[in-house]
Amino acid sequence: MEVHEVNLTISAVAPKQYPDGGLPEIALAGRSNVGKSSLINTLINRKAYARTSSQPGKTQTLNFYNVEQQVYFVDVPGYGFAKVSKKAREAFGQMIETYLSTRKPLRGVILLVDARHDPSEDDISMYDWLTYYDIPLLVVATKSDKIAKGKWNQSESRIRKGLGMQASAPFIQFSAETKQGKAVVWQWIEQQAAL
């Protein structure tokens, strides 16, 4: 999709704030600092529309970005962020679970993991949870500019094995720096959202 128009429609914490209007939604999930907001910026050709930070925990609400009046990208707060209190973490978890498990227009989730590392316990829980709810899922390995191309296959195998992915489950190496993988991520989104 050629993106010209993007609007942050709402930063929501509760279901009554979710937008109506019936557009399909694609959500981004993954641990804090993995690059969810950066992936959104890459997809919409902006440098810093969705706010990013080298400090984990930047995104703290469900941010609904209306893209071309055709689809919402939903930037979800990252999990595994140690600096917030246990109570805040539980509230975050509740907010994310409520959205992902009840939201009718949700057409798919992009689960981001770091291309350089084995999936964490939290990544595995999130993967299992999304699979349990039967939500269409794309696993994206981010920051792949930080590893040599010759190591990409190895990175993919480790992530697939760590998450227990089926061989047919979709996986893409991505980089917000080089835009590697951008077109394929868009293809997946267009397919899920029937654009």
Interacting residues toward ligand GTP by CB under 6 A: 30, 32-38, 52-54, 56-59, 77-78, 142-143, 145-146, 175-177
Phi-psi region of 35 (alpha: psi -120 to 50; beta: other; left: phi over 0): left
Q: How far is the CB of 59 from Mg ion (least distance, A)?
A: 3
Q: Pick from 12, 9, 53, 47: which is nearest to 35 by CA?
A: 53
Residue 107 to residues 26, 113, 135: CA-CA distances in angstroms? 6, 20, 7
**Complex with ligand GTP: residue 171 or 195, whichever CB lies closer:** 171
Beta strands in 38-174 (DSSP E): 62-67, 71-75, 106-114, 137-142, 171-173
Residue 146 touches which of ligand GTP, Mg ion, none (Cβ within 5-8 Å per kind): ligand GTP
**Complex with Mg ion: residue 78 or 181, whichever CB lies closer:** 78
Number of chain residues interacting with Mg ion (CB under 5 A): 4
Please give the residue ranges that form the binding site for Mg ion (CB under 5 A): 36-37, 58-59
